[in-house]
Amino acid sequence: KDKESGSPIGYFYLDLHPRQGKYGHAAIFHLVKRTASHGAVDCMLCNLPASTPDKPSLLRHQNVVTFFHEFGHIMHAICTEGIGNSTRLAKCPRDFVEAPSQMLENWVWQKQVLERLAKHYQTNESLPDKTLESMIRAKHVNVAFSSLRQIYLSRLDLEIHGPNPPTTVEEIQALVDRLCPHISL
């Protein structure tokens, strides 16, 4: 609620589990823009594992990272001041649009947070310290491979759209064969 008016600053819906015909990955959607008379209404869509008659929805760590990331977009959309899209999300500076999401996402890499969130659904037992520490240490494994792939794709794009682009399928393949071994593994 807004401190001054006592009115809700916005609402959000959660649509967390897969179903036939649903959007295939996690995202948020703005359903109603904020106006002077009402708050924003947003929806967060995910495809988290569904519960069964025998078990609650059991989330892997990556599911929790995704949830916190998307929820960061929800908080950004609802908590940002301004009317309509004038200061929110798509209209905010491009280098900031992911900042709230990444801040929330980072919480689920903190040992203290994981100790509270990561519990066995039957025994309520936390993950062992050794497991938590291994997860945290492994956070950046393979990041360099992803960066190399992006560099490779960027270089390929520059060559294809540059001053002397390949003009045949064979030339494109030769370009790929030349760039790939030198940039990515």
Residues labelled catalytic:
70
Longest dimension (CA), the chain: 67
Q: With the C-alpha atoms ordered 43, 48, 51, 57, is the resulting torsion angle positive or negative?
A: negative
Q: Give strand pairing partners of 29.
A: 43
d(CA 177, CA 149): 14
What SS3 class is residue 97? coil
HEC sequence for 50-80: CCCCCCCCCCCHHHHHHHHHHHHHHHHHHHC
